[in-house]
Amino acid sequence: MSYNWNWGVLVSEPYLGWLISGTQWTLAIACLAWIMAFTLGSLIGIARTTPIGPLRWLGTAYVELFRNIPLLVQMFLWFFVFPEVLPRDWGRWVKRDLPMPEFTTAVLCLGFYTASRVAEQVRSGLNAVPKGLLAAGQAGGLTLPQIYRYILLPLGFRIIVPSLTSDFLAVFKNSSLALTIGVMELTAQSRQIENYTFQGFEAFTAATVIYCVITAIVVVIMTRVEARLRVPGLLGRQQGAL
Amino acid sequence: MIEARNVSKWYGRFQVLRDCSVSIARGEVIVVCGPSGSGKSTLIKCMNGLEPFQQGEIAVDGISVGDKRTNLPRLRSRIGMVFQSFELYPHMTALDNICLAPEKVLKRSRAEAEAKAMGLLDRVGLADHARKHPAQLSGGQQQRVAIARALAMDPIAMLFDEPTSALDPEMINEVLDVMVALAREGMTMVVVTHEMGFARKVARRVVFMDEGQIVEDAPTEQFFTNPGSDRAQLFLSKILHH
Ligand SMILES: Nc1ncnc2c1ncn2[C@@H]1O[C@H](COP(=O)(O)OP(=O)(O)OP(=O)(O)O)[C@@H](O)[C@H]1O
Ligand SMILES: [Mg+2]
């Protein structure tokens, strides 16, 4: 059995257009989900470190729930089950009128899931800030919100930039699960090209290369962020130990 | 100025402070000493409400520290505190460390806070180091910045918790000199230290603690020449022979 290599398929229409469109959907899902995850996850991570019991409890419950259910299952739950358990009018709205239902569901699902991972990072970053600095802030008369704003968060986030990078990368990889509810993102488009042309190797090679390029861009951006946040004199000693 | 009456504190079932009473008048300098684990740090942390206590009363300038209705951040903003390990905010320059609380708590303008901070840095001999980060300063320099940070709030009293015991011997004097000058200007000071030279120079009284109790509270000369308790005598013979 011999395989007919034909790289030309990748640059011929409509397949090139499919790849481009798939890449755009992948970027859109991942970036929106990341913005959501970063915001929500930061709030939940902060909640888990406050002295306010109910906030801590809610934060813990959120993280345990979303982190422990497989992402694929969550995708199905949001898409197929969630509209059914809503009050009838809301459910009907979700099923009929939600704009771009597959895409929106994928973004929300990935955002909620990734937020649980971001929350864990933020919590560990905040906890890694030496307790003496908290005492110094208190002794200066700062209120707890001010201590978070000016001391704990700037230091906590610096500590977790490297691990946040890997969560950011994971969002791009995880966005491929959106194909299971019908979003025509990059992986789905590659599969479609295979179905139409039987040139699966070429299609998936292209997808692989595109994922790698995205990853490389994210790494470059995050390295820049890390460099910009670097504290003079703490070079090399910063990891974890601050 | 600072009045502690029958203060007791427990960590779980372990009693850290036993019925401690001490009173510090305006402009008075007292030194607190005693073996490791005797409760010295805990006592001064109770004075600005950094640590809660279960029994007794502490009043600072007539305001009760233990009272739940007391605005603790506001109270603390009027009392300076200097820690054994400096606790400078590592992501801020020396100047920003000093300006943070005056700007955010006292709502001074940046220009006003900065002018005051530069004056204080000059006073502790560090005017040239204003733009450095803590990691770029020696221990002695960091501790002098920390003292300037506390003074920037125009405190009515200063608490020092072993301010020189984390320092290399050659840096101890540069910090003590600043403290001696402060004492001579009439600052109310509670200083936990084993620097008996400092005590002799500026302390009106020495308070000796052991196992959570104030065992002795005597005028400085009397404490050194004729300590009233065996435990204080034993402690003195140990540290003076070093
Ligand atoms: N958070 C805590 N939980 C439980 N026990 C504590 C805590 N903090 C301090 N202790 C205990 O309380 C006692 C007094 O501690 P404290 O730090 O006040 O002593 P100290 O006189 O300042 O000693 P040192 O000279 O070593 O600084 C010690 O036995 C210590 O182990
Ligand atoms: Mg101590």
Helix (H) or strand (E) holding A58: helix A53-68
Mean per-residue pLDDT of chain A: 92
What number is the average pLDDT over the span B185-198? 95
Which tokens go with A191?
A: 């599969």
Which domain, by its residues, includes A51? 11-241
Choice between A54 and A93, residue whose per-residue pLDDT is larger? A54
Residue A237's pLDDT is 46
pLDDT at position A6 over 90: no
- pLDDT bin (cut points 50, 70, 90) of residue A9 is confident
Task: Mention every residue, 6+ apart, whose C-beta is less than 8 A from residue A53.
Answer: none
Q: Tell me the chain B residues in contact with residue A143 when contact means C-beta distances shorter than 8 Å.
A: 73
Ligand 2 center to B47 CA (angstroms): 14
Evaluate: CB of B36 within 6 angstroms of ligand 1: yes
pLDDT on residue A1: 62
Chain B CB contacts of A150 under 8 Å are 89, 100, 104
pLDDT digits (tens, 9 = 90+) for A48-87: 999 999 999 999 999 999 999 999 999 999 999 998 898 9
Q: Given a cut of 50, is residue A42 above it in pLDDT? A: yes
List the CATH number of the domain containing A202.
1.10.3720.10
Classify residue A151: in a domain, yes or no. yes
pLDDT at B124 exceeding the cut of 50: yes
Q: Which amino acid is at B36?
A: S
Q: Does the structure show a pLDDT above 60 at B140?
A: yes
Is the CB of B9 inside a 6 Å radius of any atom of ligand 1?
Answer: no
Q: Tell if the CB–CB gap between B87 and A237 is shorter than 8 Å.
A: no
User: Does residue A1 fall inside a structural domain?
Assistant: no
**Minimum CA distance residue for ligand 1 atom 24:** B36
Q: Which ligand is nearest to the CA of B194?
A: 1
Whether ligand 1 lies within 6 angstroms of the CB of B212 is answered as no
* Interface residue of B47, B87, B162 to substitute, partner A, most A CBs within 10 Å: B87
Residue A103 has pLDDT above 80, yes or no: yes
CA–centroid distance, residue A180 to ligand 2 (Å): 60
Residue A150: pLDDT over 60: yes
Instruction: Decide: B38 in ligand 1 pocket, CB within 6 A.
Output: yes
Q: Which of B78, B83, B136 sits opposite A136 (nearest CB)?
A: B83
Query: Does residue A241 register a pLDDT over 70?
Result: no
Task: Tell which residue, B137, B131, B136, has the closest CA to residue B99.
Answer: B131
Q: CA-CA distance, A223 to A225, in Å (whole number)?
A: 5
Q: How confident is the model at residue A5 (pLDDT cuts 50, 70, 90)?
A: confident
Q: How many Cα atoms occupy the beta-carbon half-sphere of B67 within 13 Å?
A: 10
Q: From the CA of B11, how far away is ligand 1's center (Å)?
A: 9
Q: What are phi and psi of B175, to 5 degrees?
A: -80, -45
For chain A, what is the domain count?
Answer: 1
Residues from chain B contacting residue A148 (CB–CB below 8 Å): none
pLDDT digits (tens, 9 = 90+) for B146-160: 999 999 999 999 999
Segment B20-79, tens digit of pLDDT = 999 999 999 999 999 999 999 999 999 999 999 999 999 999 999 999 999 999 999 999
Of A136, A146, A231, which is closest to B135 when you measure between CB atoms? A231
What average pLDDT does range B219-235 have in this prediction? Answer: 90
Report CA-CA distances (Å) from B206 to A121, B4, B26, B32.
47, 15, 16, 6
| pLDDT in the model for residue A240 | 40
Q: Tell me phi and psi for residue A132, to 5 degrees.
A: -60, -30
Asked, for residue A165, whether it belongs to a domain, the answer is yes
B128: tokens are 């040239």
Rounded mean pLDDT, B177-182 = 96
**Residue A242 pLDDT:** 42
B87 vs A: CB within 8 A: yes
Amino acid present at B27: G
Say whether pLDDT at B242 is over 70: no
- In chain A, residues with a C-beta closer than 8 Å to the C-beta of B45 are 135
Higher pLDDT, A240 or A185: A185
Q: How far is A160 from chain B (nearest CA, A)?
A: 15
The answer to whether the Cβ–Cβ distance between B105 and A242 falls below 8 Å is no
Cα dihedral B80, B85, B87, B92, rounded to 10, equals 120
| pLDDT of amino acid B229 | 87
Count CA atoms closer than 13 A to B14's CA, side-chain side.
Answer: 8
Using the Cβ of B77 and the Cβ atoms of chain A, whether some distance falls under 8 Å is answered with yes
> Comparing C-alpha atoms, which of B5, B90, B94 is closest to residue B47?
B5
Residue B90 contacts A where some CB pair is shorter than 8 Å: yes
pLDDT at A68 (0 to 100): 93
CB B13 less than 6 A from any atom of ligand 1: no
A11 pLDDT band, cuts 50/70/90, is: confident
Is A6 domain-assigned?
A: no
Q: Does residue A79 belong to any structural domain of this protein? A: yes
Q: What is the pLDDT of residues A154-187, one digit of tens each?
A: 999 999 999 999 999 999 999 999 999 989 999 9
Is position A118 within any domain? yes
- From CA A198, how far away is CA A201, in angstroms rounded? 9
Residue-level pLDDT at A238: 44
Q: Identify whether A5 is part of a domain.
A: no
Q: How far is it, in rounded angstroms, from Cα A109 to Cα A104? A: 8
Collect all residues of chain B within an 8 Å Cβ-Cβ radius of residue A142. 73, 100-101, 104-105
Residue B40 Cβ < 6 Å to ligand 1: yes
- Reference B157, options B224, B71, B58; nearest CA is B58
Contact across the interface for A142 and B104, Cβ inside 8 Å: yes
CA of B32 to the centre of ligand 2 (A): 10
Distance (Å) of CA A102 to CA A37, A69, A76, A114, B21? 18, 20, 11, 18, 69
- Residue A4 maps to a domain: no
